[in-house]
């Protein structure tokens, strides 16, 4: 980290906080709601970057992320399974790799907000905006066919 970065914080104080954008939406409401939570965690990381209390907050975000990943991935995988998504195992493998990386992060003594933020930014771009989009037609069709029954149970 150079001096300039230390002065203004690794993410840059002037950087706008990340917020939910319509292009992040998959059009599957329950998955979108859960992805919003991840965006909120990223915004939290941005807000503490460069502050004295950053270390503790980053630790809290990583703990939150561990719980989030377990619940969200199970939810998503259940949905793909019910919808008969043909590439479920490939998708599940990506989730497993990500979940392991989150656990690895938690086992480290300290991580800066920027590192965790970049990790989530990469997941957003490479997984949520690509791999997740691939299951959408299958899940939407399954949801449509459930009709008035509604719910994901
Ligand atoms: Fe996924």
Assign a CATH topology to domain 28-147: 1.20.120
Query: Distance between CA atoms of 34 and 141, rounded to whole angstroms?
Result: 20
Question: Residue 63 Cα, ligand 1 centroid: separation in angstroms?
Answer: 19
Question: Residue 1 Cα, ligand 1 centroid: separation in angstroms?
Answer: 32
DSSP 46: H
**Structural tokens at position 13:** 């104080």
Question: Residue 64 Cα, ligand 1 centroid: separation in angstroms?
Answer: 18
Question: Residue 92 Cα, ligand 1 centroid: separation in angstroms?
Answer: 8
Q: Are 82 and 7 in contact (CB under 8 A)?
A: no
What is the pLDDT tens value at each position of the chain, 153 positions in all? 444 444 445 555 555 578 899 999 999 999 999 999 999 999 999 999 889 889 999 999 999 999 999 999 999 999 999 999 999 999 999 999 999 999 999 998 788 999 999 999 999 999 999 999 999 999 999 999 986 455 555
Query: Distance between CA atoms of 49 and 63, rounded to whole angstroms?
Result: 17
Q: Where are the domains of the chain?
A: 28-147
Question: Residue 46 Cα, ligand 1 centroid: separation in angstroms?
Answer: 23
């Amino acid at each position: 980290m150079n001096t300039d970065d230390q002065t203004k914080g690794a993410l840059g104080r002037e950087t706008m906080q990340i917020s939910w954008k319509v292009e992040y939406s998959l059009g599957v409401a329950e998955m979108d709601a859960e992805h919003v939570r991840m965006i909120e965690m990223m915004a939290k990381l941005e807000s503490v970057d460069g502050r004295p209390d950053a270390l503790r907050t980053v630790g809290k975000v990583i703990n939150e992320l561990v719980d989030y990943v377990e619940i969200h991935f199970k939810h998503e995988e259940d949905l793909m399974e019910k919808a008969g998504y043909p590439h479920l195992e490939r998708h599940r493998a990506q989730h497993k790799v990500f979940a392991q990386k989150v656990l690895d992060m938690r086992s480290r003594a300290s991580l800066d907000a920027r590192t965790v933020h970049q990790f989530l930014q990469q997941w957003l771009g490479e997984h949520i905006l690509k791999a997740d989009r691939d299951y959408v037609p299958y899940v939407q069709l399954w949801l449509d066919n459930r009709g008035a029954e509604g719910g994901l149970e």
